[in-house]
């Protein structure tokens, strides 16, 4: 079945970290990763409240980079409060609600990471581009930004009791190889330079939503290799 990891990327306040630990205990989730957090002190322990939640908080995995946090994730979900027309629609859209994520993950098998950004500025466009799926909690347009622990609570409430499944999601390493291969392929076609990066990201978004299996990833890479070979042979025959 799908296992859920909560990643807090460079959280600013110990109290929020403690509150997230408490919320995770409430809903039965046990995989918390902190990327460059502040020192876990009395404030974090106070907000964690329960002794078990404090123990869980102090056993959280601490890493130094976003890449370390997601390295073994089959799917990475980037959360954002920004929805609709923004400075970069290719990065931010389309977005899934927490309830829609439940429907996508039910019956699947793999590790899914939910990434929550900094309290003051969230995830950067570059960080969102590393995610397979973007998720947004529907909120009032007049004040869409939620406290991070409240946002975590809503996602975990919806993702409780996922059904076991035998549909294995592709691993991060092979998916990244596919994305790199697509990027290289667009350079070889050649593809219009001013559209290349946005098109590569759009293709990644499409494939991220497709919940690819390892076999499907290898099949797509095989198609790309055969196409590259055919293009090369065609060019050589024209000489």
- pLDDT, tens only, 190-214: 899 999 999 999 999 899 989 899 9
**Mean pLDDT score of the chain, rounded to an integer?**
91
* pLDDT tier at 92, thresholds 50, 70, 90: low
3-state secondary structure of 17: helix
Q: Which residues of 171-188 are buried (b: 16+ CB within 10 A; e: fewer)?
A: bbeebeebbebbbebbee
Same domain? 144 vs 205: no
pLDDT at 232: 84
Q: From residue 22, how far is each of 12, 57, 150, 218 by CA, in Å? A: 17, 8, 11, 40
Query: What pLDDT, in 10s, does the model give residues 109-125?
Result: 999 999 999 999 999 98
Same domain? 76 vs 23: yes
Same domain? 18 vs 75: yes
pLDDT at 5: 98
Same domain? 119 vs 8: yes
pLDDT at 39: 94
* pLDDT tier at 91, thresholds 50, 70, 90: low
List the CATH number of the domain containing 34.
Answer: 3.40.1280.10
Percent of the chain beyond pLDDT 90? 76
Same domain? 47 vs 150: yes
Tell me what the mean pLDDT of segment 9-20 comes to: 97
Same domain? 181 vs 158: no
Contact present, 133 and 208 (Cβ < 8 Å): yes
Tell me the residue range of the domain where 218 lies: 172-237
pTM of the model: 0.90
3-state secondary structure of 78: strand
Same domain? 16 vs 117: yes
Tell me what the mean pLDDT of segment 21-28 comes to: 96
Same domain? 215 vs 124: no
Percent of the chain beyond pLDDT 70? 94
pLDDT at 94 over 80: no
Contact present, 100 and 112 (Cβ < 8 Å): no
pLDDT at 84: 46
What is the per-residue DSSP string for 96-121? E-HHHHHHHHTTEEEEEEEEE-BTTT
Residue corresponding to tokens 């404030």: 43
Contact present, 27 and 155 (Cβ < 8 Å): no
| d(C-alpha 239, C-alpha 234), whole Å | 9
Q: How far is CA 233 from the centre of its chain?
A: 39
pLDDT at 239: 63
CA torsion sign, 4 to 99 to 136 to 126? positive
Residue corresponding to tokens 């293709």: 203
Indicate the helix (H) or strand (E) that contains 33: strand 32-35
- Domain final residue, candidates 125, 145, 168: 168
- Domain final residue, candidates 148, 168, 188: 168
Query: What pLDDT, in 10s, does the model give residues 32-86?
Result: 999 999 999 999 999 999 899 999 999 999 999 999 999 999 999 999 986 544 4
Same domain? 151 vs 205: no
Residue with the bigger pLDDT between 86 and 230: it is 230
Same domain? 134 vs 94: yes
What is the per-residue DSSP string for 121-173? TB--HHHHHT-SEEE-----TTS-PPPHHHHHHHHHHHTTTPPP--EEPPPHH
pLDDT at 33: 98
pLDDT at 166: 79
pLDDT at 118: 96
Same domain? 65 vs 29: yes
* pLDDT tier at 169, thresholds 50, 70, 90: very high
Same domain? 56 vs 162: yes
Tell me what the mean pLDDT of segment 218-231 comes to: 94
Q: From residue 69, how far is each of 6, 35, 87, 232 by CA, in Å? A: 10, 7, 27, 39
pLDDT at 87: 45
- Total domains present in the chain: 2
Q: From residue 231, how far is each of 87, 136, 181, 192, 228 by CA, in Å? A: 36, 41, 15, 17, 5
């Amino acid at each position: 079945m799908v296992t859920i990891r909560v990643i807090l990327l460079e959280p600013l306040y110990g109290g929020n970290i403690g509150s997230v630990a408490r919320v995770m205990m409430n809903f039965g989730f046990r995989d918390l990763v902190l990327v460059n957090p502040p020192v876990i002190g009395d404030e974090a322990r106070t907000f964690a409240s329960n002794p078990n939640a404090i123990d869980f908080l102090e056993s959280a995995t601490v890493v130094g980079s976003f890449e370390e946090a997601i390295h073994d994730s089959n799917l990475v979900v980037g959360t954002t409060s920004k929805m609709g027309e923004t400075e970069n629609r290719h990065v931010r859209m389309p977005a899934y609600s927490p309830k829609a994520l439940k429907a996508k993950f039910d019956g699947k098998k793999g590790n899914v990471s939910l990434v929550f950004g900094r309290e003051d500025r969230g995830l950067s466009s570059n960080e969102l581009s590393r995610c397979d799926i973007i998720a947004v909690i529907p909120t009032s347009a007049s004040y869409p930004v939620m406290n991070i622990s409240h946002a975590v609570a809503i996602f975990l409430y919806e993702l409780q009791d996922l059904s076991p499944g035998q549909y294995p999601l592709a691993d991060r390493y092979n998916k990244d190889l596919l994305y790199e291969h697509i990027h290289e392929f667009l350079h070889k076609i050649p593809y219009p330079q001013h559209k290349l990066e946005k098109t590569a990201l759009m293709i990644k978004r499409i494939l991220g939503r497709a919940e690819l299996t390892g076999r499907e990833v290898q099949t797509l890479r095989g198609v790309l290799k055969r196409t590259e070979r055919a293009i090369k042979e065609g060019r050589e025959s024209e000489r």
